[in-house]
Amino acid sequence: MSDPRPDRTGPLRPGLRGRLSRAGPSQVMVEPELMDLRLHTPRPDVVIVRVSGKVDRLNALLLAELAGKQLHRAPHVVIELGEVKVLGQRGLTVLRMLHQQAMARGRELHIVAAEHGAIRRSSHVTGLAELLSPELTADAVIARLPDWIKSPASSSPR
């Protein structure tokens, strides 16, 4: 099925990196890069939320909703910001709120950003430094967690 809007390129939702649209007969606007969210569950007690693109006031609430749901799902939630190019004030507020929610629920929220990433380099300016885990990647966070032990109740047939 084709997209009824011929001026759009790429997917309609998360994953959209940018698109061209016609504003008038001879005008072309380039819309900004949007946020992309991807979930990964490498083991039952860990959920990784990989974020890329732009976390600004328009899409920070989507991050809050998706990551907040993961705090109910696993005791360890890793938010990986390595591919984030812009972290706006509302995005920072959402990360602080998620951190508080995790603490209130007895969960651990690990916010990581690669050393070479734009977010890690600017964290001292944005106030994110106190929220960032010392580990630079989700894999490093998982490596320091204790081995996951399947409880007997979860292995019994139903």
Q: What is the pTM of this model?
A: 0.71
Parallel, antiparallel, or unpaired: how do β-strands 19-22 and 28-31 relate?
antiparallel
Structure tokens at 144: 């320091």
Is the pLDDT at 28 greater than 60? The verdict is no
74-115 pLDDT per residue, tens: 999 999 998 888 888 899 999 999 999 999 999 999 999 876
pLDDT-based confidence at residue 13 (cuts at 50, 70, 90): very low
All structural domains of the chain: 36-144 (3.30.750.24)
Structure tokens at 121: 């380099």
Structure tokens at 110: 């690990």
